[in-house]
Amino acid sequence: MTPSLVAEFEARLRGLREALPAVAFFGGFAWDALTLGRSVAPMDLWLLSAYLAGAAAILWLMGHRQAEPAEVTTPGPWWRESGPYFLLQFLFGGLFSALFIFYFESSSHFLATLWALGLGGLLVANEFLEDRYRRYTLTWALFGLCAMLLLNFVLPHVVGSISAVWFVLSTLAGAAMTHALRLKTPGQPGRIGPVWGIAAGLLVAYALDIIPPVPLVKRDIAVGHALAHVGDSYRLQQEKTPWWVFWRRVEKDIHLKPGEKLYCVSAVFAPSGLDTRLYHRWSHYDEKNGWVDTSRIGFGLAGGRAGGYRGYTWKQNLAAGEWKIAVETENGHTVAVYRFELAAEPLAADAEMVDKTF
């Protein structure tokens, strides 16, 4: 091969290297968005666990290389010098992408959405951190965060419970695993203190209901008039919009007949083997006192159904105005929030209805 062809090949290789992060980022995120989020399958968790194990192996090898006596040699090809950092960037990107989608699908109130967007920010920032992975303190922090967030999903799957104790144990286990990996890495590079700081921050955020109660994932929630159980489905009647309101299928404001019941149906994905109890907290907005809870009604939930396990509650003789219904766990963590307006005018006799199937 002539020198000119070699130079052209190396130039093309450098161009491919520069394009690879963008291609991997957009391709991986698009794939995750299409395949994840609506449920959390065991195979997804196995794959993400393999990503985490691969990142752990690369961190150990990087520490082993750094601890070896330095030799004066000519620079090697980029894939040898920068390959481990590129692979680490890819693995962290895959973990952050999946975790962002999981948490975004599970967040239904403002603080939880901010938390999910924070993970999205880390996903984007990861595309610019390849060279900074040589700073082990940052790398341990990112690895520890991935380990803790992933175990927050894995442990409830294994034990079949979403009790707060499992979130605490999985968070501490992720931090401890990262600490142990650093102790086993030759030279023990970097500092581990930030990892424990992240663990403490996660525990505080969970206590303040900022982090969604994973691995539960909201599938759907709606309110309506009559509810029927037909076969394996629930059918909820809702008021249909006029033909000219083509951008919305059902009316925004709800009208009730005197004494009529208003039903709320929610569908939540839960992993197989999970047996817990969820609650609908009905709240009405009062101009003087703000949001006032009127009732908290519970229903059982057994996990594993791909379409989401359904539960419903109902109330009648409701005051007109703004309402919201929060789907909560037994310990008060929010799964979903649904807001609606109850009109003062009664339901018209000729109102047209549509069915929503759960």
Could you read off the pLDDT of 255-271 as tens digits, one per residue? 999 889 999 999 887 77
pLDDT at 63: 81
Q: Do 334 and 219 form a contact (C-beta atoms < 8 A)?
A: no
Q: What is the mean pLDDT of residues 166-186?
A: 94
Q: Do 67 and 186 form a contact (C-beta atoms < 8 A)?
A: yes
pLDDT at 39: 55
With cut-offs at 50, 70 and 90, classify the pLDDT of residue 195.
very high
Q: Do 304 and 272 form a contact (C-beta atoms < 8 A)?
A: yes
Which DSSP helix (H) or strand (E) runs through 273? none
Domain extents in the chain? 3-207, 217-357
Q: What is the pTM of this model?
A: 0.73
What is the signed CA dihedral for 321, 248, 334, 36, rounded to 10 degrees?
A: 180
pLDDT at 72: 45
With cut-offs at 50, 70 and 90, classify the pLDDT of residue 156.
confident
Report helix angle 110-125 to 83-106, nearest 10. Answer: 160
With cut-offs at 50, 70 and 90, classify the pLDDT of residue 33.
very low
Give buried/exposed letters for 172-191 (b at 16+ CB in 10 A, else e): bbbbbbbbebbeebeeebbe
Evaluated on CA atoms 78, 84, 88, 90, the torsion sign reads positive
DSSP states along 29-93:
HHHHHHHSSS---HHHHHHHHHHHHHHHHHHHHHHHHHHSPP-------HHHHTHHHHHHHHHHH
With cut-offs at 50, 70 and 90, classify the pLDDT of residue 121.
confident
Where do runs of H (alpha helix) occur along 126-238? 136-159, 164-184, 193-207
Q: How far apart are CA 15 and CA 280, in angstroms?
A: 55
Q: What is the mean pLDDT of residues 137-160?
A: 88
What are the backbone angles phi and psi of residue 274, rounded to the nearest 5°?
-80, 130
pLDDT above 90 for 292 = yes
Strands lying side by side in the sheet with 353-357 = 227-230, 233-239, 353-357
pLDDT at 108: 67
Closest CA to 37 of 147, 116, 93, 90: 116
Q: What is the mean pLDDT of residues 208-220?
A: 81
Q: How far apart are CA 289 and CA 91, in angstroms?
A: 49
Q: How far apart are CA 51 and CA 48, in angstroms?
A: 5
Q: How far apart are CA 138 and CA 199, in angstroms?
A: 15
With cut-offs at 50, 70 and 90, classify the pLDDT of residue 308.
low
Closest CA to 182 of 170, 173, 171, 191: 191
Between residues 232 and 144, the one the model is more confident about = 144
Write the single-letter amino acid at 33.
A
Q: Is 235 helix (H, G, I), strand (E, B) or coil?
A: strand
pLDDT at 179: 96
CATH number of the domain at 217-357, please? 2.60.40.1930
pLDDT at 227: 93
Q: What is the mean pLDDT of residues 151-172?
A: 88
Closest CA to 181 of 62, 32, 318: 62
pLDDT at 22: 46
Q: For residue 318, count CB atoms less than 10 angstroms from its CB and return exposed for 0-12, middle for 13-18, buried for 19 or more.
A: middle
What are the backbone angles phi and psi of residue 247, rounded to the nearest 5°?
-85, -5
